[in-house]
Every structure is written in C-alpha cells, then in structure tokens.
Amino acid sequence: MGWDIFRVKKKRDEPDDDIQIAIKAIEKFAPKKYLQEREMYYYHYRQMSKYLKPLLALLVYVSHTDKKRKNEEVFIQGLFSKLKDFYDVNDQLSIKEATQDYSLKIKLRKLLKIFYDDTSLTGTDIEGYLKKIPDN
C-alpha cells in the first residue's frame, strides 16, 4: 500500500453564492480604480441579512450592461428603483418621495461613477428621467 504523501490535495472551491456571482460579473467590466468604493458602499452589505435581497437585486441589475446601452432612460429609472429598495430597506419612502430625495440622487450619480465610470449624466438629465417613473 503506497501513499503518495507528496501529492498536493486540490482545494475544493465552495460554490459561489448569488451575490458573489453578480460581483464577479460586475468586476469584469467595472473600472478597477473604484473597486475600494464598490466594496465600501455596496459589497460589504452582504454581511447583513436584511440587505441581502435588495443588494442582490441591485447588483444583478448593475451587471446587465446591455440594458444601459439599449435605453438609458429606462435603465436609469430601473437602477434608481433598485437603489431606492437597497437604501430604503424598511420601505418608508414612496417612489415619488424617493425621486425627490436629494441624497438618493447623489447616490445614483455616485453609483454610475463607481460601477460604470460614467459621469456624463447631468442633474437635469437625471431629474427628467426620474420624473417619468410611474407611481406604484
């Protein structure tokens, strides 16, 4: 009976959870210079259970870059909705109240910058897109 004591045992990778899969997809296209900001403002929330569902929805939406190219207005409206759900976990704001919240608009612009390196949208553009979001 010979044992190969010098054989390196392959480490089994645990299957990635859905959030890690979304992060990997995002990191394929997102600008590397903003990785620290993405980790600080979004990725670390995966450690808090009440944020898991809205974080996953937001990251999956961010990872679909084809939507951004096809129709920017619809993309921004959907992204804002996911961002609102993430930051308003307790659902205290209506969508109309959220579109009037200055801090959420700033967070949207920051999200566009750190995930897409996109600073082209003006505040006026964002205002126009958000005014067209239907009230639910």
Count Cβ neighbours within 10 Å for each residue of 59-88 and write b for 16 or more, e otherwise.
bbbbbebeebeeeeeebbbbbbbbbbbbbb
Average pLDDT over residues 58-81: 91
Residue 42 domain boundaries: 32-131
Domain count across the chain: 1
Q: Would you say residue 69 lies in a domain?
A: yes
Q: Would you say residue 22 lies in a domain?
A: no
pLDDT tens by residue, 75-121: 999 999 999 999 999 999 999 999 999 999 999 999 999 999 999 98
Q: Would you say residue 113 lies in a domain?
A: yes
Q: Between 2 and 56, whose confidence is greater?
A: 56
Q: Between 57 and 3, whose confidence is greater?
A: 57
Q: Would you say residue 8 lies in a domain?
A: no
Q: Would you say residue 56 lies in a domain?
A: yes
Q: Would you say residue 91 lies in a domain?
A: yes
Q: Would you say residue 15 lies in a domain?
A: no
Does the pLDDT at position 2 exceed 70? no
Q: Would you say residue 3 lies in a domain?
A: no
pLDDT of residue 4: 57
Average pLDDT over residues 39-59: 94
